[in-house]
Amino acid sequence: NAGVTQTPKFHILKTGQSMTLQCAQDMNHGYMSWYRQDPGMGLRLIYYSAAAGTTDKEVPNGYNVSRLNTEDFPLRLVSAAPSQTSVYLCASSLQQGDTQYFGPGTRLTVL
């Protein structure tokens, strides 16, 4: 099993541009989530999905997600802002509240 994979590893965006961060898992996990991690800080939950076809957000606008199938949970930055410069971490677990498995992260810089 590859576990949780994320692409790209690094990316630089200009303010106002849009981008989709990819996340996939091959463990047949129902629950997937996105966190952002600012330098020297802990993880902050952005969006989560309890199952394919459902999503819930934790933070205000600026992000969109979709969960069309069990495996993939892409995160879209609609119109990037410098405040969205961060490391984005994707995680999955069998169900909400269970042990989470994290991807390696995407380091995003918005200029």
Binding-site ranges for other proteins (CB under 8 A)? 4, 33, 35, 40-45, 48, 58, 89, 91, 95-97, 99-105
User: Which residue, 60 or 97, has its beta carbon nearer to other proteins?
Assistant: 97
Nearest distance from C-beta of residue 26 to other proteins, angstroms: 16
Residue 108, classed as helix, strand or coil, is strand
User: Which residue, 18 or 88, has its beta carbon nearer to other proteins?
Assistant: 88
Nearest distance from C-beta of residue 47 to other proteins, angstroms: 11
User: Which residue, 79 or 98, has its beta carbon nearer to other proteins?
Assistant: 98
Kindly report the number of other CB atoms within 10 A of residue 73's CB atom: 29
CA 90 to chain centre: 4
- C-beta separation of 42 from 56 below 8 A: no
**What is the rounded distance in angstroms from the CA atom of residue 70 to the CA atom of residue 25?**
8
